[in-house]
Amino acid sequence: MALEELSSSSITAGLATSLIGRKVVYFPRLPSTMDAARLEVRRGTAEGTVIIAGEQTEGRGRLRRTWLSPSGNIALSIVLYPDIACLPYLVMIASLAVAYSIETVTDLKTRIKWPNDVLIGGKKVCGILIENKVRANRVDYAVVGIGINVDLKIADVAGIAATATSLKDELDRNVLKKNVIRNLLTEFERLYQLLPTGESIYRAWRARLETLGEKVAVTSGGSVLEGIAESVDETGALVLRQADGTLNRIVAGDVTLHHND
């Protein structure tokens, strides 16, 4: 099957959103949708503008990792101008919107690994990166970057088979990126419009977290903490209980299941 041809018009035609995706800028090939989104911000673009790349050559994920976005996958960034009180909820909104859109289009079941990796069968199918600029308690902008493995054959990429998956690998068939993107933008807008009150978003996100109650190792700030992932608070921070009973509140980090050999 030939790779699906995307365009701005194929995504926006008939899209029933009022904010997210009303302007879509599509590039067949781009170094980074995050960089392109910041350029759009400097040009004064409207909130809800979406930058999409058919192929992203210099994509990045959380903790300065590289994010592979070859042709056939989804790489996009959404420009937002939220109130500062809404910032903690953006990671929840993004991961939930991805989870809901995948389930709607494919019927595959998803979970979330704290804080925002979307998983299928315990393997990563989506990564999310959020960058923002805040000055004097005011948000200049926030950019939400989302990368989804759609038509990637995981076996063709060295070193990721144990931890990653794609929609194509899970279903053994191609998935239309347009359908995933349109559902994603619709769900993102629905959740974003629930702000500034984020209680229902927090509850839905917390319910999908796969690591709560599990023994985990958390890499944060150059150190590794081990314990039970006891809970998450409404800001999205992880509460880790160590063996001596100490509670640690972790705002950012990387979680892996801790196996005692």
- Write down the pLDDT at residue 57: 81
State the Cα–Cα distance between residues 197 and 203, nearest whole angstrom. 12
What residue spans define the domains of the chain? 8-208, 215-257
How many other CB atoms sit within 10 Å of the CB of residue 95?
27
pLDDT tens, position by position, 121-136: 999 999 999 999 999 8
Higher pLDDT, 250 or 220: 250
pLDDT tens, position by position, 206-215: 999 998 988 9
- Write down the pLDDT at residue 1: 46
- Write down the pLDDT at residue 261: 41
- Write down the pLDDT at residue 156: 79
- Write down the pLDDT at residue 153: 84
| Architecture of the domain whose range is 215-257 | Roll (2.30)
pLDDT tens, position by position, 90-105: 999 999 999 999 999 9
- Write down the pLDDT at residue 56: 85
Q: Is domain 8-208 classified as CATH 3.30.930.10?
A: yes
pLDDT tens, position by position, 23-82: 999 999 899 999 999 999 999 999 999 999 988 886 555 445 555 556 668 999 999 999
- Write down the pLDDT at residue 66: 55
Q: Using DSSP bridges, classify how beta strands 50-53 and 24-27 pair: parallel, antiparallel or unpaired.
A: parallel
- Write down the pLDDT at residue 73: 87
Reported pTM: 0.91
Higher pLDDT, 66 or 198: 198
- Write down the pLDDT at residue 255: 85
pLDDT tens, position by position, 138-196: 999 999 999 999 988 888 777 788 889 999 999 999 899 999 999 999 999 999 999 99
- Write down the pLDDT at residue 16: 93
